[in-house]
Structure 1
């Protein structure tokens, strides 16, 4: 049976250095590379139970998110899990369905040392419960306070870029379609960026900015389509705050036999740009979020917190436009 002593001997380092590498304590890069190579050659598997007893850690991280139904959340979960596994951590998934009490149960688990830290996409205000317990945590998409590291996409700039792209495509009258949420500020930022560009450049625009639930919102899109598209209005470019909203819009256009044709007489840009499966083809032209980069950064920041290191507390990633079938080339 391969032991930690065997790894140390092959790598030419001390047993303590091997232990530090295994427990993600910072060591010199050249030593880390030697230890990782030795572990790979020997097929050494650390004893996770013994490590947790010694370090008072579980090597488990909780990921709290509202749902796994949407492609962004599904992709993020996958990328976070892979990055954690690479670092020797396990993922505990909390699919909260926006249930505040369920989210607090996972915070309590962290307080009781059942998990080492929390990655959170939550629209509930759990920050006070986390701050009081001094639990390592990284917030994704929602900013809580200056004590909790925050990582997100630059949603405001994404809205600006969407409006600008529609203008470059020759659109003269634009529209925004999205749902308002008091807890989820990302839609507001996307809308604010879009409106800011339109106002600065004297571009006329319409908008469906709803505070209703999902099913009512779909009915409101139907009404918006009948009002804006059936009578041959000059509206020729739409920015939807999420790709699924763009899908709703296109379904409604087809259902009501509107003359507007996506990618031809009507340009539509969504937000997310995430495939539903590995071999999927991008259908909606979109402002794409760099989910892999967000996941890697969030995990790295959390692991550094757990190790007691200083971390950056505010990080925004840029979006990029990806061409689908709903805008002309």
Structure 2
């Protein structure tokens, strides 16, 4: 090897004192004796040999690359989900190709075409667009939350229905008598729609009159929240509701700010629970923005990666749901003892 040329597999074999075939096996993940594996890995590190993943992909028909399609990285839930996905893929020896679609269907379709051209080993998608007809049937895919009526694509999500039931039960347990529900949602169906179903079921079970703001995503949702608050003001200025369950932590945080701006104390006057488990600064041990039904993001990410890397896809369930847990984020009162 000259100083001007990049090291080759032959150089690695010579440095390690093994055959070229042994080097090839180590690089392609084929089992060899441990002592040979260590020699090859040491030679690769010593020579700064860079594995040609493209060439290896042509031979193995695997690129080691998985596309992750999300709406954006600004939303802390999407960012945290992506971080856990990347970590789970890395532990499997896979790399991440990140695609931020901004919720634009044409952009998502362009990314899907790109994944086909780049021969990715799989796609993990968190999408709010109707792209079911554009997914390559030859590429393994798993979708978080969403489902497409025209395709039987494996889905992973949280148990939104029971999570919502738990949220209402927690508000009642903490003394609320009239919990309302706030939801702004995508026009495309998904597992998260079951949060409203859970709220209505809880109302029926505990003989509560349903009271909710349920609208499609829009630009003036803040104004609509304000109108909802004004509509529920009584003559003495107090509110007719004392508990709020919000479809997401984001909307819960904004609703809390509106309540406080109107002079209502949270949680003394109104208790509030969101859904997702979004944390300040993103860390797993950081504080929540609001009390929340927390989605198990590390486990959800691991399940997505497990499904995308499963060889026998005939055994993959069409839907996998994981349980959520309640965590106090300062917008609910502590349970009184005694």
Question: What band does the TM-score fall into relative to the shorter chain?
Answer: 0.7 to 0.9
Matched with 1:130 is 135
Superposed displacement of residue 237, structure 1:
0.9
Paired with 2:158 and 2:228, the residues of 1 have a C-alpha distance of 28
Distance 2:152 2:192 in 1: 24
The answer to whether the 8 Å contact 1:153/1:319 transfers is yes
Q: Residues 248 and 33 of structure 1: is their aligned pair in 2 closer, same or farther, counting only changes over 3 Å? A: farther
Aligned to 2:231: 227
Alignment correspondent of 2:292: 286
The alpha carbon displacement at 1:39 in A equals: 7.9
What RMSD, in angstroms, separates the aligned Cα atoms of the two structures? 3.2
1:76-97 CA-to-partner distances (Å, cap 9, x unmatched) read 1111111222222221211111
Query: What is the Cα deviation at residue 312 of structure 1?
Result: 3.3
Please name the residue that 2:308 is paired with.
302
Equivalent residue for 1:21, pick from 1, 25, 29 = 29
Matched, 1:115 2:120: yes
Secondary structure of 1:235's counterpart equals: coil
The alignment partner of 1:226 has SS state of helix
For residues 35-72 of structure 1, the C-alpha deviation after alignment (integer angstroms, 9 at most, x for no partner) is 99888777767542332231233222111111222111
Change (3 A) 1:3 1:87: farther
Alpha-carbon offset, residue 6 of structure 1: 9.3
Correspondences of 1:132-281 after superposition (within 5 Å): 133-144=137-148, 147-213=152-218, 215-229=219-233, 231-258=237-264, 261-277=265-281, 278=283, 280-281=286-287
Per-residue deviation, 1:154? 1.0
- Partners of 2:154 and 2:33 lie apart in 1 by 27
More deviation, 84-93/67-76: 84-93
Cα deviation, residue 252, structure 1? 0.9
**CA distance change for structure 1 residues 177 and 3 in 2, over 3 Å: closer, same or farther?**
same
Q: Deviations over 1:129-153 (max 9, x none)?
A: 225x422111111122663211011
Moved more, 35-44 or 86-95: 35-44
Paired residues, number:
314
* Residues 104 and 212 of structure 1, relative CA distance in 2, 3 Å threshold: closer
Residue 236 of structure 1: how far off its partner (Å): 0.9
**After alignment, is 138-147 or 199-208 more displaced?**
138-147
Question: Which residue of structure 2 lines up, in the alignment, with residue 64 of structure 1?
Answer: 69
1:85 aligns with 2:93: no
| Structure showing greater Rg | 2
Would you say the 8 A contact 2:12–2:44 is kept in 1?
Answer: no
Offset of residue 229 of structure 1? 4.1
| Contact residue 165 and residue 202 of structure 2 kept, 8 A | yes
After superposition, the Cα gap between the structure-2 partners of 1:4 and 1:171, relative to the gap in structure 1 and judged at 3 Å, is farther
Q: What does residue 316 of structure 1 align with?
A: 321
